[in-house]
Amino acid sequence: MKSFAGVITVVFLVVSVISFGCSKKNPEEPNNAPSTPAVPAGPSTGFIDSSYTFTSSATDPDGDSISIRFCWSNGDTSSWSSFVGSGDTVSMAHSYSQSGTFGIKAQAKDKNAAVSNWSDALQFNIPGAGSGWAKLLGGSGEDVGKWVNATSDGGYIIAGWTTSYGASAADAYLAKADSSGNELWHTIIGGPVDEWIYSACKTSDGGYVLTGTTDSYDPYWGSNDVYLLKADGSGNEVWHKVIRCDPDSSGTEECAYSVKETSDGGYILAGFRNNYDQDTLTQAYLVKTDASGDKLWDKLFGGSGKDWANSVAQTSDGGYIIAGATESFGALLRDVYLIKTDASGNESWHKTFGGAGYDEGRSVCETSDGGYILAGYINSGDIYLIKTDASGNELWSKTFGGTNYETAYSVQQTSDGGYIIAGITDSYGTGVEDVYLVKTDASGNELWSKTFGGADDDEGYFVQQLSNGGYIVVGKTQSPPASGGSDVYLIKTSD
């Protein structure tokens, strides 16, 4: 009997341990529904049959795990997601087969099936059929578009670089697309090692000129040189040139980030030159060539620090305007660097602009009033738009962006006197980085902005206004369904 009582005691203790060790809610305690989810985050505009990712989160007052579903507002509600922790973010992708404006909402439920209210809606716009689209071009490697131009047949020509095709690691890439962005052809041009293309322009003979850097043809192995490539209208190479600032020096490196055809049929290029022999880290580099790509003269600009050029344009007086960055002049760490030269490349003046951090100018053009518009970034975080008079004096400046990183790569004056800016944003959109398109009025005030991209990195490098008032943008995307490292990202907008 004593033995039996001992068994009873043991059983009671085991049951007690199991009962008190269980985390299950007491059935008599009320179960509270999750909070109303946050308004879904994601892009504000997109295209038919393209996939876009949206995110939302909610908290549960009882600390329960939650599941989230999305209402796409086109008669389609997603399945519930897998359960995640209270406050964790849930993402889902969706595509639309028709145009319209869609209010995307989110709803949460907990493990005990208590359901929240629907969130407020994110307004997502798909332009009318035929008015806008996004296309991916490339192969299984890394493909990047750095320049795009509308062609007379209604299509587009794209220039950049690729590791998907050709014999070497990186080659020049020139592609032709039809009016819907479908590739018609592409050509790959390069030497036995690497060619990286950063800029291009259409030429008066109907062909194209591309520039960047090469280490395929350098007599001193491992040192990059300016690469200038001429192609005909079908993308076939006409000639290429390798340009060095100091042809007899083994300690220099040159790169061009910008090229334009000049009024005499030649070309102007801007970038940087490093001279390791003289312990000069970086100077802005300007090169003028004839129509055959042979160097006529070159010039260096800067001081004792690092200075470089990102953009160049010929001005109405026959000279040149250059935008870049300087660590030699200006007030603080790095400033926007604006240089004006005469027709022979001699400096007329230079100006610096910026804030307390790192600032850089990445695109410049002359405006209809004879002044200049520059775009880049300020304080390593916001798009920086600067308007100057003809002497480079600042008339106004504007910044655009959110709490994270934004930068501009391209700016153009538009037919209404305002400006269009293309770049990247880490504050808005749906991915890590998204293509960021900003339209302003003539005073630099934002009229609208749009983001494009998916769940990963997407960047816009060049924008051009089209004759119908829309825009064509080119860059790169790493978001699915991109293959390899990245694909060329070609975007046409309706406005």
Task: Identify the three-state secondary structure at position 448.
Answer: strand
297 and 250 share one domain: yes
State which residues form the domain around 114. 51-126
Are 413 and 438 members of one domain? yes
* CA 268/CA 199 separation, integer angstroms: 12
- pLDDT value at position 280? 59
Task: Give the whole-number percent of the chain exceeding pLDDT 90.
Answer: 73
Cβ contact 414:439 at 8 Å: yes
Asked whether residue 13 is domain-assigned, the answer is: no
pLDDT score recorded for residue 246: 75
Cα-based distances in Å from 427 to 298, 383, 473: 40, 12, 20
Tell me: do 97 and 159 sit in the same domain. Answer: no
| Residues in CB range of 19: below 8 A, 6 or more apart | none
* Phi, then psi, of 321 in degrees rounded to 5: -115, 135
Identity (one letter) of the amino acid at 53? T
Domain count, the chain: 2
Which residues face 100 on adjacent strands? 126
Query: Is residue 429 a part of any domain in this protein?
Result: yes
Domain's final residue, options 77, 94, 126: 126
- Confidence band, pLDDT 50/70/90 cuts, at residue 36: very high
Q: Where is the domain boundary, 126, 156, 176?
A: 126
Specify if 450 maps to a domain.
Answer: yes
Identify the sign of the CA torsion 152, 293, 159, 191: positive
| φ, ψ for residue 249, nearest 5 deg | -100, 135
Is the distance from CB of 47 to CB of 81 less than 8 angstroms?
A: no
Residue 126 has pLDDT above 50, yes or no: yes
Residue 253 within a domain: yes
Three-class DSSP category at 272: strand
Q: Give the span between the Cα atoms of 37 and 485, in whole angstroms.
A: 34
What is d(CA 314, CA 295) in angstroms, rounded to the nearest whole number?
17
* Model pTM score: 0.80
The half-sphere exposure of 226 on its side-chain side, counting CA atoms within 13 A, is 32
Q: What is the pLDDT at residue 380? A: 74
What is residue 55's predicted lDDT score, i.e. its pLDDT? Answer: 93
Per-residue pLDDT band for 201 (boundaries 50, 70, 90) equals very high
- Between CA 312 and CA 485 the distance in angstroms is 30
Are 197 and 338 within one domain? yes
pLDDT range class, residue 469, cuts 50, 70, 90: confident
Residues whose CB is less than 8 angstroms from the CB of residue 39 and which lie 6 or more positions away in sequence, other chains included: 56, 106, 119, 120, 121, 122
- Residue the block writes with tokens 């004006």: 340
Same domain, 109 and 90: yes
In a domain, 367, yes or no: yes
User: Is residue 139 within 8 Å of residue 162, measured between CB atoms?
Assistant: yes
Select the more confidently predicted residue: 431 or 65: 65
What is the distance between the alpha carbons of residues 131 and 152, in angstroms, rounded to a whole number? 18
Q: Examine the domain organization and report whether 151 and 116 are in the same domain.
A: no
Q: What is the pairing mode between strands 100-110 and 66-71? A: antiparallel
SS (H, E, C) 69-137: EEECCCCCECCCCCCECCCCEEEEEEECCCCEEEEEEEEEEECCCCECCCCCCEEEEECCCCCCEEEEE
Cβ proximity of 122 and 41 under 8 Å: yes
**pLDDT > 70 fraction of the chain, expressed in percent and rounded:** 89
Q: What is the pLDDT of residues 177-191, one digit of tens each?
A: 999 999 999 999 998
Summarised one tens digit per residue, pLDDT across range 37-57 is 999 998 877 777 777 889 999
pLDDT of res. 4:
39
User: Are 287 and 200 members of one domain?
Assistant: yes
Residues 359 and 424 in one domain: yes
Q: Average pLDDT, stretch 3-31?
A: 47
Average pLDDT over residues 91-104: 87
Kind and range of the H or E run holding 351: strand 347-353
CATH code of 70's domain: 2.60.40
How far apart (Å, rounded) are the C-alpha atoms in residues 222 and 250? Answer: 10
Same domain, 218 and 278: yes
Residues 214 and 234 in one domain: yes
CB 469 within 8 A of CB 456: no
Check whether 210 has a pLDDT greater than 70.
yes
Q: Does residue 10 form part of some domain?
A: no
Averaged confidence pLDDT in the chain: 89
CA distance 337 to 340: 10
Name the burial class of residue 128, with classes exposed (0-12), middle (13-18) and buried (19+) by CB atoms within 10 angstroms of its CB: exposed
- The 3-state DSSP class for residue 227 equals strand
Helix (H, G, I), strand (E, B) or coil at 339: strand
Q: For 327-380, how does the pLDDT look when each residue is reduced to its tens digit (9 = 90+)?
A: 999 887 999 999 999 999 999 999 999 988 999 999 999 999 999 999 999 987
Q: List, in sequence order, every residue forming a beta bridge with 52; answer none if it has no partner.
A: 94
Both 472 and 345 in one domain: the answer is: yes
Average pLDDT over every residue of 416-429: 95
DSSP per residue, 119-182: PPPEEEEEPPTTT-EEEEE--SSBEEEEEEEE-TTS-EEEEEEESSSSSSSBEEEEEEE-TTS-
Residues in the chain: 495
Q: With beta carbons less than 8 A apart as the criterion, state whether 311 and 270 touch.
A: yes
- 31 occurs within a structural domain: no
Contact 224, 255 (CB under 8 A): yes
What CATH number is attached to the domain comprising 381? Answer: 2.130.10.10
Tokens (6 digits) for 336: 């926007």
* Any domain includes 15: no
Of the candidate ranges 152-166, 203-217, 474-488, the one whose mean pLDDT is the lowest: 474-488
Give the separation between CA 37 and CA 27, rounded to whole angstroms. Answer: 26
pLDDT at 25: 53
Q: Which of the pair, 452 or 200, is modelled with greater confidence?
A: 200
Of 126, 146, 165, the residue that ends a domain is 126
- Please give the pLDDT value at position 261: 98
Three-state DSSP at 215 gives: coil
Distances (CA, A) of 303 to 119, 306, 309, 324, 390: 56, 8, 13, 14, 24
Amino acid at 152: S
Segment 230-282, tens digit of pLDDT: 999 999 999 999 998 876 666 688 999 999 999 999 999 999 998 766 655 78
Q: Are residues 273 and 303 in the same domain?
A: yes
